[in-house]
């Protein structure tokens, strides 16, 4: 009986050591390539607050101002009116805004959108798949994407209205 218990414990210990070894290997030696300026923007499909599917690749030929944000994020709250204001100027010049909320409840996001009267598409990344694909940290983070789907710039932190205008001008087709 003691010998069986010894072998069972040995096998369990070996499995645990193998799992720990794999975890360390995958975190230290397997390099996750972060998205950089010049890369193609990873495509995604998310649903907006009206139930419409928004796919990034459908915006080819236009500049895309891709903003990741949260309702609890004070810098995000501060820049949203600036983004909305400039969107209303640049939307007829081939610039689109997609605001990706980082997994909050639809009612919370809708209340925020209504409060600021946002007119651009707002989508919710419920499973954080898009956030992880773009390696988002911190919020807010904005990706400037040109008409060919290439990332022109990555901006982290709060933007002023003048910043937003300057960035939208850069991605205007």
Tens digit of each residue's pLDDT (9 = 90 or more) over 138-163: 999 999 999 999 999 999 999 999 99
Residue written as token pair 């990344």: 125
Q: Return the structure tokens found at 3.
A: 């010998």
Tens digit of each residue's pLDDT (9 = 90 or more) over 2-24: 888 888 888 888 888 888 877 77
Say yes or no: 125 and 154 in one domain: yes
Task: Give every residue of the chain whose pLDDT is below 70, as ranges.
Answer: 26-33
What pLDDT is attached to residue 31? 54
Which residues is 50 bridged to in the sheet?
A: none
Q: Global pTM?
A: 0.81
Please name which of 172, 173, 7, 22 lies closest in space to residue 86, comparing C-alpha atoms.
Answer: 172
Would residue 39 count as lying in a domain? no
Domain that includes residue 137, residue range: 45-171
Q: Return the structure tokens found at 170.
A: 């850069």
Say yes or no: 21 and 66 in one domain: no
**Residues 24 and 11: beta-carbon distance below 8 Å:** no
**What is the total count of domains within the chain?**
2
d(CA 119, CA 39): 28
Q: Return the structure tokens found at 36.
A: 């950089």
């Amino acid at each position: 009986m003691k010998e069986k218990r010894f072998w069972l414990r040995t096998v369990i210990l070996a499995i645990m050591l193998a799992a720990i070894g794999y975890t360390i290997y995958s975190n230290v030696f397997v390099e996750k390539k972060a998205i950089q300026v010049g890369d193609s923007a990873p495509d995604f499909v998310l649903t907006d607050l009206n139930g419409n599917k928004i796919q990034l690749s459908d915006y080819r030929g236009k500049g895309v101002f891709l903003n990741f944000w949260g309702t609890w994020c004070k810098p995000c709250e501060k820049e949203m009116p600036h983004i909305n204001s400039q969107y209303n100027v640049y939307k007829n010049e081939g610039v689109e805004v997609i605001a990706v909320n980082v997994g909050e409840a639809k009612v919370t996001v809708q209340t925020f959108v209504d409060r600021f009267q946002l007119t651009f598409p707002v989508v919710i990344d419920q499973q954080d798949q898009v956030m992880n694909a773009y390696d988002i940290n911190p919020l807010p983070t904005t990706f400037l994407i040109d008409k060919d789907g290439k990332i022109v710039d990555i901006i982290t932190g709060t933007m002023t209205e003048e910043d937003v205008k300057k960035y939208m001008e850069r991605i205007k087709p």
